[in-house]
Amino acid sequence: MLPVKDRFHIPEGLIYLDGNSLGPLPKSVPARVGEAVQKEWGQSLIRGWNSEGWMAQPARLGDRIGDFVGAPTGTTVLGDTLSLKVYQALAAALSMRPTRKVILSDTGNFPTDLYMAEGLSSMLGRDHELRLVDPTDVTAAITDEVAVVMLTHVDYRTGRMHDMNAITQAAHNAGAVMIWDLAHSAGAVPVDLTASHCDFAVGCTYKYLNGGPGAPAFIYVRPDLIETIDPALSGWLGHDAPFAFEPGYRPAPSIERMRVGTPPVLQMTALEAALDVWDGITMQDIRAASIALCDLFIAEVENRCPELTLVSPRDANARGSQVSFAFDHGYATMQALIAAGVIGDFRAPNIMRFGFTPLFIDAGDVTEAAQRLEHIIKTKAYEAPEYQIRNRVT
């Protein structure tokens, strides 16, 4: 069944190993977005909020995204960006443990998650401490001082994957609230939020879910908690009756209380159409193919390019759907590789990162990418001056 390359627009000859940062364009998207612009916006105008179902989109899409991460109907909603969804989840979690002061995370977490925690703590002014430990030390660091354990399931830099169920259990045993960031998990690895019993999960849809640049984020709240959450971002579309225009805030009795303001309808329409590429494909199919591709890439690169050092776990069970290598000339090498038609990305200080998305990558692509990389390293093509210039986005 896999890959289903013909469901995507991928430029001829390009090997795209960056679907973990920005998924490629599904062929189903342009016509659907065109129709949403011309017909829905153009003709329906303001009536579109009702007639085209725009207002229901965030919850409808939440249920579809929920299927990817084992979240039952009515527990997930779309909107805003992931940074904001982290803020909402963390604010709610901290208010559930008012006497505890520690937010526990790890040094592998994505900076925006940590920055949002810092900003929220200083805004609350209640002396919260953001405590960061090595990813391998998380379980041991879960003490009864900890209010919230906030982790990204798959490390954006190394691809190292936490044991979601075991860590959630440890957090709950210590009386802490558990938040998982699924940015590099949703659409990449099987996730079962219900089985994990975690309190909150958040994630984005422009990575493995191919929703396009700026696609909205999602937030999941465990069903028994939804009605107890006091939303920190108390926007009108999370109100029980937005069009009653009451002067006071009253949260919706459903997951919709995690909505804030007007949803990005065109982005959500793009995402909704993009999800068609998953027809007939299960996360189990994806996981099996992803492990095979990652294992092959590791073997090929280690064989051809001994100068590079694997920084991802060798054990597939401890790894998400990406592989990273450290190399001192990593930035310039990645620029040279992109010029040679293989797109990966670079993460400071020296990490070359490659995402494997079995929807459109096969074993032939993996071998070809490793060959092009070998050529650049052997010929030191990365020394060319044009590859030394740092772009704003790496």
Q: Catalogue the active-site residues.
A: 110, 181, 206-207, 353
CB of 20 to ligand PLP, least distance (A): 9
Binding mask 43-82 vs ligand PLP (x if CB under 6 A, - otherwise)?
--------------------------------------xx
Residue 75 phi/psi, 5-degree rounding, is -120, -5
**Cα–Cα distance for residue pair 44/362, rounded to 1 Å:** 43
Residue 164 contacts residue 153 (beta carbons within 8 Å): yes
Number of residues that bind ligand PLP (CB under 6 A): 13
Note whether 180 binds ligand PLP by CB under 6 A: no
Q: In this complex, which beta carbon is closest to ligand PLP, that of residue 121 or of residue 205?
A: 205
Structure tokens at 193: 């939020």
| Given 181, 256, 300, 365, the residue binding ligand PLP (CB under 6 A) | 181
**Cα–Cα distance for residue pair 112/90, rounded to 1 Å:** 13
Structure tokens at 55: 């207002």
Place of tokens 């999941």: 220
Structure tokens at 5: 């390359």
**Cα–Cα distance for residue pair 379/377, rounded to 1 Å:** 6
% helix / strand / coil in the chain, to the nearest 5? 45, 15, 40
CB of 156 to ligand PLP, least distance (A): 4
Q: In this complex, which beta carbon is closest to ligand PLP, that of residue 152 or of residue 267?
A: 152
Q: In this complex, which beta carbon is closest to ligand PLP, that of residue 178 or of residue 204?
A: 204
Q: In this complex, which beta carbon is closest to ligand PLP, that of residue 81 or of residue 169?
A: 81
**Cα–Cα distance for residue pair 153/147, rounded to 1 Å:** 19
Residue 23 contacts residue 9 (beta carbons within 8 Å): no
**Which region among 176-184, 304-312, 314-322, 373-381 touches ligand PLP (by CB under 6 A)?**
176-184
Note whether 83 binds ligand PLP by CB under 6 A: yes
Q: What is the largest CA-CA distance in the chain?
A: 69
CB of 294 to ligand PLP, least distance (A): 18
Binding mask 103-142 vs ligand PLP (x if CB under 6 A, - otherwise)?
-------x-xx-----------------------------
Cβ atoms < 10 Å from Cβ of 287:
17
Rg (CA), the chain: 22
CB of 235 to ligand PLP, least distance (A): 17
**Cα–Cα distance for residue pair 29/184, rounded to 1 Å:** 22
Note whether 155 binds ligand PLP by CB under 6 A: no
Place of tokens 């995204």: 65
Note whether 204 binds ligand PLP by CB under 6 A: yes
**Cα–Cα distance for residue pair 360/356, rounded to 1 Å:** 9
Note whether 217 binds ligand PLP by CB under 6 A: yes
Q: In this complex, which beta carbon is closest to ligand PLP, that of residue 52 or of residue 155?
A: 155
CB of 290 to ligand PLP, least distance (A): 17
Structure tokens at 213: 């640049």
| Given 7, 162, 184, 259, the residue binding ligand PLP (CB under 6 A) | 184
Note whether 40 binds ligand PLP by CB under 6 A: no
| Given 87, 156, 200, 331, the residue binding ligand PLP (CB under 6 A) | 156
**Helix, strand or coil, per DSSP, at residue 19:** coil
Residues of this chain that bind ligand PLP (CB under 6 A): 81-83, 110, 112-113, 152, 156, 181, 183-184, 204, 217
